[in-house]
Amino acid sequence: MADMSGRAADPTREPGQTVTYREAVAEGLARELRRDPAVVCLGEDIGAAGGVFKTTQGLFEEFGPGRIWDTPISEQAILGLAMGAAMTGMRPVAEIMFSDFFAVCWDYLANEIPKMRYMTGGQVTVPLVVRTANGGGLGFGAQHSQATENWTLAIPGLKIAAPSNPADVVGLMASAIRSEDPVVFFEHKGLFASKGPAAPDGHVIPLGQAAIARAGSDITIVALAATVPMSLAAADLLAAEGASAEVIDLRCLVPLDMATVLASVDRTSRLLIVEENPYQGGWGGTVASIVADEGFELLDAPVRRVAAASVPLPFADALEQQVIPTVDSVAAAIRALLAY
Amino acid sequence: MTAVSTSAGAIGASELLALYEQMAVIRRTEKAAHDLFLAGLVKGTTHLAAGHEAVAVGASASLRPDDYVFATYRGHHHAIARGATPEECLAELMSKATGVCKAKGGSMHLTKASAGMLGSYAIVGAHLPLAAGAAWSAKLRGSGQVAVAFFGDGATNIGAFHEALNIAAVWALPVLFICENNLYMEYTPIGSVTAVPSPAADRAPAYAIPAEVIDGNDVVVVAGAVARAVDRARSGGGPTVLEARTYRHFGHSRTDPATYRPPEEVQEWLQRDPLDIARARLAALGVPVEAAVAADDRAAQLVESAVAAARAAPPPDPSEALTDVWADGGSRWRT
């Protein structure tokens, strides 16, 4: 057993204890690093510094430089190294500090990692995880605030997880690292300080299994990552007005749990999709098209999407709030759909 | 400008004859690919490596079977040098079910993972970080393996080249970066778009990586230089850059007649054909000319029967289009 003082998280934590989302990231990584010696982490400032978002705090102390590797600012090298290592027996977990930086290593996410297995006729698998800090609401401006999950959804061959709470971070991290397929793991910047129940020991959430975060009967709200607590808050507002909203936390975009969404729409007959990426090309368009195709007769109202406006993200809070979804904009959309 | 090394390694007559035969097989396979394309039996494009045989065969001679090789879209020679058969390569080019990648990759993506040939990559420079990653993996596992990235001169001006060299040096990774400098990045002389005369070797010192410019048309020279670099890598000495000077016998791709190359330059390089150089070395070692002729005949026969088998092979089953995305063999992305 390693030195307890250096542990990323205390395994003797009392059941039911509350932890932050950022602590859960380090905990989820630590559990897999302890379980499987093939797991190795690499990224900028993830080691001695503990990560710029402190999401890898304690890992370097517990696992050392042979497992936790600080890299130069070389995003192509980070993903290329991870891919080469994944093809040859390792389970690398690469961090790209901000999801906006996917653009500088996009070749690996678009052309290399997702296509290798297919274009070799199944000769090679690429079991890696790309972790990244995603999303807005923190005033980082146009190049450090984007929700880019829709970029990755455009590429067949990537699995995509985006947890909304600390326990899901741990459970989905376990599945992502154990996956034989490449997984892009979106950690939401706006959720890092949020708290929730700690994950129980051995917590594993299969990829592609949505959760009903709140049961309801009048309308289905499909959400992901930061739009889950936002939608839950909006549902609370509507409850005070006598409406019962069901909130589905997709957890993953690939595999996409449309069975859960369609079953919910069958009960509620109304669908609102809340996504932080831009309306233009956002993942909600895919969900909406499947419901239109396979659930048309279930609907008593049009499918609506609350998404980011199709503009670059502005810096000022007062402007950013005009662009990305908010509790108020979600609540207004629910009211409009219920009145339809 | 870095001097071109012609320092020969120690290769005996029988081993050299085997290397010669491999080169002859590659040359004939490339000629067959060319002819099959003209006959309309190969679609898309091909980037033929005729003229580059000594780089692939010489390097392969100095690698262990469990070492890793990463190549480019001009990679038929590397696939064959590592153990892919001409038949499975030509079947891949001809979109046949028996292709080495089940006809899902094509000419630009020949891969033979079971032989440590971990892919041919069609985005210039993308695979250099992958080779560094395989070397990192070997180091983490303590396996003693090395990784090799083969790339063209054109790749030396792309970011991934520089990111890969830097990290490989900083982490002392057991990786070889072998540039096949054929003087042209696609249609443009590399010298007209690069500020240094040796595009790979002259960049290596900036990353504190030892480098050598070598005669890439002499299989014995290539084998010797690669053996030295492999020794350094396996003993913890980190990466090496080798710049092998060579020349394409065909154009950049199928549609390129390469009229931009001065005829005297082409003639000069054709007179330095890697097969001719190897034959001269065989003669110098006292190998009778009949032995080389017999090797040529065997190569011709092998490729001839490979072409026949590939032609006769069935097309892929249409259901194959929706397999092999995920590790479970399928392509299901939603419930």
**Structure token pair of residue A328:** 């108020």
Number of inter-chain CB pairs under 8 A, A vs B:
162
Catalytic residue (one of A23, A27, A44, A75): A75
ipTM: 0.96
Using CA atoms, how far apart are residues A51 and A301, in angstroms rounded to an integer? Answer: 46
Comparing CB atoms, the residue among B101, B123, B164 nearest residue A121 is B101
A208-267 residues touching B, CB cutoff 8 A? 208, 254-260
Whether A153 is in a domain gets the answer: yes
- Please tell me which residue of chain B has the smallest CA distance to A69: B171
Instruction: Tell whether A273 and A177 lie within a shared domain.
Output: no
Task: Give me the torsion for CA of A149, A155, A158, A164, rounded to 10°.
Answer: 10
CB B72 within 8 A of CB B110: no
Shortest alpha-carbon distance between residue B17 and chain A (Å):
32
Nearest Cα neighbor of A246 from A275, A276, A268 is A268
Tracing tokens 């274009």 back to the chain, one arrives at A119
- Please tell me which residue of chain B has the smallest CA distance to A178: B327
Q: How many domains does chain A have?
A: 2
CB burial string A277-289: b at 16+ within 10 A, e below: bbeeebbbbbbbe
pLDDT at B4: 79
Which DSSP string corresponds to B197-217? SSTTTTTGGGGT--EEEEETT
Cβ contacts of B159 on chain A, cutoff 8 Å? 76
Tell me: the pLDDT tens digits for A130-170?
A: 999 999 989 999 999 999 999 999 999 999 999 999 999 99
Instruction: Tell whether A168 and A224 lie within a shared domain.
Output: no
Q: Given an 8 Å threshold on Cβ–Cβ distance, is B335 in contact with A123?
A: no
Reading phi first (left if > 0) and then psi (alpha if -120 to 50, else beta), residue B25 is in alpha
Whether A206 is in a domain gets the answer: no
**Structure token pair of residue B231:** 């020794």
Instruction: Tell whether A188 and A239 lie within a shared domain.
Output: no
B302-331 residues touching A, CB cutoff 8 A? 323-329, 331
Instruction: Tell whether A25 and A103 lie within a shared domain.
Output: yes
Shortest alpha-carbon distance between residue A141 and chain B (Å):
26
Is residue B1 over pLDDT 50? no
Residue A19: which CATH number? 3.40.50.970
Instruction: Tell whether A139 and A283 lie within a shared domain.
Output: no
Is residue A174 over pLDDT 60? yes
Comparing CB atoms, the residue among A71, A112, A122 nearest residue B126 is A112
Cβ contacts of B335 on chain A, cutoff 8 Å? 208, 255-260
Between the two ends of chain A, the Cα-to-Cα distance in Å is: 60
CA angle (B31, B36, B40) in 5-degree steps: 150
What pLDDT band is residue A1 in, cutting at 50, 70 and 90? very low
Last residue of a domain, one of A197, A226, A258: A197
Using CA atoms, how far apart are residues A88 and B76, in angstroms rounded to an integer? Answer: 22
Whether A248 is in a domain gets the answer: yes
Q: Given an 8 Å threshold on Cβ–Cβ distance, is B134 in contact with A116?
A: no
Q: Which of A174-178, B114-118, B240-244, B251-255 has the least mean pLDDT? A: B251-255
- Please tell me which residue of chain A has the smallest CA distance to B328: A180
Cβ contacts of A157 on chain B, cutoff 8 Å? 325
**Domain locations in chain B?**
4-310
Q: What is the mean pLDDT of chain B?
A: 96
**Structure token pair of residue A139:** 């005033």
What residues form DSSP beta bridges with A245?
A219
Is residue B264 over pLDDT 90? yes
Is residue A6 over pLDDT 70? no
Shortest alpha-carbon distance between residue A192 and chain B (Å):
28
Instruction: Tell whether A300 and A244 lie within a shared domain.
Output: yes
CB B92 within 8 A of CB B99: yes
Segment holding A153, helix H or strand E: helix A149-153
Last residue of a domain, one of A163, A197, A231: A197
**Is beta strand B117-121 parallel, antiparallel or unpaired with respect to B147-152?**
unpaired
Residue A85 touches chain B, beta carbons under 8 Å: yes
Cβ contacts of A72 on chain B, cutoff 8 Å? 163, 166-167, 170
Which of A10-19, A316-325, B249-258 shows the highest mean pLDDT?
Answer: A316-325
Mean pLDDT within B235-244 = 98
Is residue A15 over pLDDT 80? no
pLDDT at B279: 98
pLDDT at B257: 87
Task: Give me the torsion for CA of A66, B158, A143, A128, rounded to 10°.
Answer: -40
Is residue B155 over pLDDT 80? yes
Contacting residues for B37 by C-beta, under 8 A, at least 6 apart: B46, B254
Whether A204 is in a domain gets the answer: no
Is residue A300 over pLDDT 70? yes
Q: Would you say the C-alpha torsion A312, A313, A316, A320 has a positive or negative sign?
A: positive
Q: Given an 8 Å threshold on Cβ–Cβ distance, is A157 in contact with B163?
A: no
User: How many residues are listed for chain B in this entry?
Assistant: 335
Instruction: Tell whether A147 and A260 lie within a shared domain.
Output: no
Tell me: the pLDDT tens digits for A242-298?
A: 999 999 999 999 999 999 999 999 999 999 999 999 999 999 999 999 999 999 999
What pLDDT band is residue B9 in, cutting at 50, 70 and 90? low
B249-268 residues touching A, CB cutoff 8 A? none
- Please tell me which residue of chain B has the smallest CA distance to A73: B163
Q: Given an 8 Å threshold on Cβ–Cβ distance, is B132 in contact with A77?
A: yes
What pLDDT band is residue B3 in, cutting at 50, 70 and 90? confident
Q: Is B23 helix (H, G, I), strand (E, B) or coil?
A: helix
Q: Given an 8 Å threshold on Cβ–Cβ distance, is A123 in contact with B134?
A: no
Between the two ends of chain B, the Cα-to-Cα distance in Å is: 61
CB A226 within 8 A of CB A164: yes
CB A160 within 8 A of CB A183: yes
Mean pLDDT within A60-87 = 98
Whether A160 is in a domain gets the answer: yes
- Written as one letter, the residue type at B89 is C
Shortest alpha-carbon distance between residue A125 and chain B (Å):
6
Burial of B142 (0-12, 13-18, 19+ CB in 10 A): exposed
Cβ contacts of B330 on chain A, cutoff 8 Å? none
Q: Given an 8 Å threshold on Cβ–Cβ distance, is B130 in contact with A180?
A: no
Mean pLDDT within A213-227 = 98
Is residue A65 over pLDDT 60? yes
**Structure token pair of residue A65:** 């430089």
Domain that holds residue A293: 211-339
Q: Looking at beta carbons, which pairs linking B24-27 to residues 24 or more positions away fall under 8 Å?
A: B24/B275, B24/B295, B24/B296, B24/B299, B24/B300, B25/B80, B25/B86, B25/B299, B25/B302, B25/B303, B26/B50, B26/B53, B26/B56, B26/B57, B26/B76, B26/B77, B26/B80, B26/B81, B27/B53, B27/B275, B27/B299
What is the percentage of chain A residues whose pLDDT exceeds 70?
Answer: 95
Instruction: Tell whether A69 and A189 lie within a shared domain.
Output: yes
Q: Is A157 helix (H, G, I), strand (E, B) or coil?
A: coil
Q: What is the mean pLDDT of chain A?
A: 95
Q: Would you say the C-alpha torsion A312, A315, A319, A320 has a positive or negative sign?
A: positive
Instruction: Tell whether A233 and A173 lie within a shared domain.
Output: no
B137-156 residues touching A, CB cutoff 8 A? 137-138, 140-141, 147
User: How many residues are listed for chain A in this entry?
Assistant: 340
- From the CB of residue A2, how many other CB atoms can be counted at a distance below 10 Å? 13
Residue A301 touches chain B, beta carbons under 8 Å: no
pLDDT at B8: 65
Whether A202 is in a domain gets the answer: no
Contacting residues for A178 by C-beta, under 8 A, at least 6 apart: A32, A36, A204
CATH of the domain spanning B4-310, picked from 3.30.360.10, 3.40.50.150, 3.40.50.2300, 3.40.50.970: 3.40.50.970
CB burial string B9-46: b at 16+ within 10 A, e below: bebeeeebbebbbbbbbbbbbbbbbbebbeeebbeebb
- Please tell me which residue of chain B has the smallest CA distance to A119: B105
pLDDT at A9: 47
| A188 included as an active-site residue | no
- Please tell me which residue of chain A has the smallest CA distance to B105: A119
Cβ contacts of A116 on chain B, cutoff 8 Å? 119
Is residue B119 over pLDDT 90? yes
Instruction: Tell whether A152 and A12 lie within a shared domain.
Output: yes
Residue A295: which CATH number? 3.40.50.920
Shortest alpha-carbon distance between residue A181 and chain B (Å):
6
Using CA atoms, how far apart are residues B108 and B123, in angstroms rounded to an integer? Answer: 10
Last residue of a domain, one of A162, A197, A232: A197
- Please tell me which residue of chain A has the smallest CA distance to B127: A80
Question: Does the predicted model carry a pTM greater than 0.80?
Answer: yes
Mean pLDDT within B175-198 = 96
Is residue A7 over pLDDT 90? no
